[in-house]
């Protein structure tokens, strides 16, 4: 592209035009470029030219380098192929690259081992009767039923009230606003 023939267009706008043509611009920048292109024929020509170039670039096929050629290049340059890393090598790298973190983890591990060895939990034997176990099971089922009802009510509230009025409505208003800009031009 010859940017010199578009010397009247400010460089910042030229960059926005290029980004919009290649599909890399934000929504705001795309709209500003489209509106500017409607008003200025030189901007429209530049945008169209870059858009054609972008389409051509996107149609270029990517060719893979043959494996034999890659191996020859690696052997000539002295580059060795990457070996897959394991968990053990990752752990060693963490300990080597972050000595403070490794000391903290080591300290916690030693403290945990000492705590487990010194403070042994005594074995608790609770003798529950069959009647108590049956009652506990019944209460658990009732609790889970109540929680299930609450989740269902919450799901219905979210679907019917929140998503409809607080999400879908603003999105629809935004789409209508964008359509109005595209149809009528700049909104005042």
Please answer whether residues 41 and 49 qualify as being in contact, where contact means their C-beta atoms are separated by less than 8 angstroms. no
CB-based contacts of 145, cutoff 8 Å, min separation 6: none
Q: Give the start-to-end residue ranges of the domains of the chain.
A: 3-58, 90-118, 140-188
**Band (146; pLDDT cuts 50, 70, 90):** very high
- Write the pLDDT tens digit of every residue in 74-130: 777 776 666 666 777 776 776 667 777 777 888 888 988 888 888 766 555 577 888
Angle subtended by helix axes 41-58 and 11-22, to nearest 10:
40
45-87 pLDDT per residue, tens? 999 999 999 888 888 887 777 788 778 877 777 766 666 667 7
């Amino acid at each position: 592209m010859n940017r010199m023939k578009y010397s009247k267009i400010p460089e910042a706008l030229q960059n926005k035009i290029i980004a919009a043509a290649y599909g890399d611009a934000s929504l705001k920048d795309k709209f500003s470029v489209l509106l500017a292109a409607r008003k200025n024929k030189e901007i429209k020509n530049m945008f169209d030219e870059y858009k054609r170039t972008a389409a051509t670039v996107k149609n270029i096929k990517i060719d893979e380098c043959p494996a034999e050629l890659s191996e020859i290049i690696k052997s000539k340059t002295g580059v060795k192929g990457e070996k897959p890393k394991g968990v053990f090598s990752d752990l060693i790298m963490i300990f080597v690259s972050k000595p403070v973190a490794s000391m903290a983890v080591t300290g916690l591990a030693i403290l945990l081992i000492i705590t487990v060895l010194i403070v042994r939990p005594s074995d608790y034997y609770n003798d529950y009767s069959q009647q108590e176990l049956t009652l506990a099971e019944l209460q658990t089922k009732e609790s889970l039923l109540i929680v299930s009802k609450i989740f269902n009510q919450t799901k219905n509230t979210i679907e019917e009230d929140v998503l409809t009025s607080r999400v879908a409505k603003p999105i629809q208003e935004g789409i209508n606003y964008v359509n109005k800009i595209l149809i009528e031009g700049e909104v005042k």
